[in-house]
Structures are given as structure tokens and as C-alpha cells.
Amino acid sequence: MLVAENMSKEEMVKEAVEEAKAKAAKETGEQEEQAEETVEETAEQEEVSEEAEEASEEEETEEGSGFMKKFGRKNKKDKKDEKIEELTDRLTRQMAEFDNFRKRTEKEKSQMYEIGAKDIIEKILPVVDNFERGIAAVPEEEKSNPFAEGMEKIYKQLMTTLEEIGVKPIEAVDQEFDPDFHNAVMHVEDEEVGENIITEEFQKGYLYRDSVVRHSMVKVAN
């Protein structure tokens, strides 16, 4: 009886131990499964995060590439615009060259006109000189003679015409000698006259538009 009870107790202890071991093994297995699931979830999250980062980088790269394409094309000049700029620049330079040519031509024409006018005036001046000599040679009592009066009138008309076109005589007597306007052909000592003063004019000089056509031939004191 006692042996049977003892055997029963031992069996009960063994069963309890076996149940405890089984329970412990079951709990350990569940913990391992949970750990594996946690590791797998963490790995999946990391993978998703990496994919998101890669997608973001690719999107930024595509946006940057699109920006460069969009604005890079705008910065590059079109061939048509370059041609327009080239033609505009060429036209501007040609217009400037033409304007310079026009100004130069007008200046040359003006110079040629003045040179031609001076040549004609130089040829007329001897006629003026002869008129003045002829009028000066008429005696005082014959100045009322119609011939002498006619010469006087023609002379005055000629001088008026020359003055209208810009010809005027150079002042000489009692003026200081100026080599730009006067040609000294004689010097005289005269204490009553200041130094370098013109005392007599042998031939009148003339200006045409402030340019000397003929220098005055004069006598200079001291």
C-alpha cells in the first residue's frame, strides 16, 4: 500500500516536471517567434526607409535635371536671335560709317568751295587796285566829270558786292604790325611813331571769311 502510494507520488512529480518543461519550452518558443517577428519587422521598416530615401534622391535628381534643361535652354541663344544681333550690329556700323563719310564729304566740299572762291577773289583784286589807282589819278576839278563819276559808282558797286560775299580789306595804317596779315617791304626810323607801327600801305590786303586772301604790303616804323 505504501509502495503504491510512493509510486503514485513519483509519477505525479514526474508529470509535473514534464508539464513544467513543456510549458517552459512552449514559452521559450513563443518568445523566439516574437523575437524573430520583431527582427523581421525592423528589417522591413529599414528596407522601406532605404527605398523611400532612394526615391527621394532620384526625385531631387530628376528635378535638378529638369531645372537645368529648362533654364539651360533659355540661356542658350537661338540661332535666329544671333543672326538678328549680327545683322543689327552690321547695320549700325554701316550707318555710322555713312554718317562719317557724309560729314567728311560736306567738309571737303566746303573747303573746295572756299578754295575756289579765294582763287576768283585773288583774280578780281587787281581789277579793284586799278579802279583805285584810276580814281586817285583824277584831278580834283575833274571829279564831277561824268566819266569819273561813272568809275566811282562802278568801284563802289564792286566793293559792296565783295563785302556781301565776305570779302573785306585788312586794316593797316596806324595799326601794329602783324605778320599774319601784313607783309613788311620797308622799315623807317620815326621817333614820333611807336615801335612796330605801320606808317604807310603800298597795297591793300584782303580777308575772305577771316582767311587771308592777300597780305597788305606795308612800311613799318622802327
Q: Mean pLDDT of successive 10-residue segments in the chain (222 residues)?
A: 46 60 56 55 58 60 53 62 87 89 84 84 93 90 88 93 93 92 90 85 92 93 82
Cβ neighbours of residue 174 closer than 8 Å, sequence gap 6 or more: 197, 198, 199
Which domains, ranges and CATH numbers included, belong to the chain? 87-165 (3.90.20), 167-222 (2.30.22.10)
* Residue in 176, 179, 222, 182 with CA at minimum distance from that of residue 202: 182
pLDDT of residue 85: 87
Asked if 202 and 185 count as a contact pair (C-beta separation under 8 A), the reply is yes
